[in-house]
Amino acid sequence: MTAQTIPATVAAPPRRHRSRRRWIGILLSAALLAALVLLSIAIGSAMLPLDVVWRAFADPDGSATQVTVTEARLGRTVLGVLVGVALGVSGALIQALTRNPLADPGILGVNAGAGFAIALAVAFLGVTSIHEYLPFAFAGAIAASAIVYLAAGTGRGSGSPVRLTLVGVAFAAVLTGFSHTLALIDVDTFNRMRFWGAGTITDRPAGTIEAILPAIVLGAVVAAFCVRPLNAIALGDDAARAVGLRVGLARAGVVVAVTLLCGAATAAAGPLLFVGLVVPHAVRWITGPDWVWVTAYSAVLAPVLVLASDILARLVVFPAELQVGVVLPLLGAPVLIALVRGRRARAL
Residue type (1 letter), 294: V
Residue 286, pLDDT score: 83
C-alpha–C-alpha distance, residues 251 and 162, integer Å: 13
Q: What's the whole-number mean pLDDT along residues 265-275?
A: 87
Length of the chain equals 348
DSSP SS3 for 291 = helix
Full set of structural domains in the chain with CATH:
63-343 (1.10.3470.10)
C-alpha–C-alpha distance, residues 203 and 163, integer Å: 39
Residue 301, pLDDT score: 96
Centroid of chain to Cα 262? 6
Q: What's the whole-number mean pLDDT along residues 106-115?
A: 86
DSSP SS3 for 3 = helix
* DSSP string covering 313-348: HHHHTTTS---HHHHHHHHHHHHHHHHHHSTGGGG-
DSSP SS3 for 196 = helix
With pLDDT > 70 as the criterion, what percentage of the chain qualifies?
Answer: 91
pLDDT in tens, 294-329: 999 999 999 999 999 999 999 988 888 888 999 998
Residue 12, pLDDT score: 46
Residue 344, pLDDT score: 52
Centroid of chain to Cα 220? 12
The residues near 158 (Cβ < 8 Å, ≥ 6 apart) are 152
Centroid of chain to Cα 186? 31
* Residues 162-188 as b or e (16 or more Cβ within 10 Å = b): ebbbebbbebbeebbeebbebbeebee
Terminal Cα distance for the chain, rounded: 38
Answer for the pair 276, 90: CB distance below 8 angstroms, yes or no. Answer: yes
Residue 223, pLDDT score: 95
Residue 159, pLDDT score: 58
Sign of CA dihedral 258, 213, 36, 47: positive
Cα–Cα distance list, 139 to 118, 235, 291 (Å): 10, 34, 29
Does the pLDDT value for residue 7 go beyond 70?
no
Sign of CA dihedral 43, 45, 51, 53: negative
C-alpha–C-alpha distance, residues 67 and 51, integer Å: 15
Of the pLDDT bands very low, low, confident and very high (cuts 50, 70, 90), residue 6 is: very low
- What pTM was estimated for this model as a whole? 0.87
Residue 261, pLDDT score: 93
Does the pLDDT value for residue 80 go beyond 60?
yes
Per the prediction, the chain carries an average pLDDT of 84
Most confident segment among 3-17, 238-252, 264-278, 331-345: 264-278
At 9, phi and psi to the nearest 5?
-70, -40
C-alpha–C-alpha distance, residues 46 and 64, integer Å: 11
Range list of H helices, 270-320:
275-287, 291-316
Q: What is the 8-class DSSP label of residue 201?
A: -
Residue 197, pLDDT score: 81
Residue 11, pLDDT score: 45
* DSSP string covering 16-64: HHHHHHHHHHHHHHHHHHHHHHHHHHH-SSS---HHHHHHHHHS----H
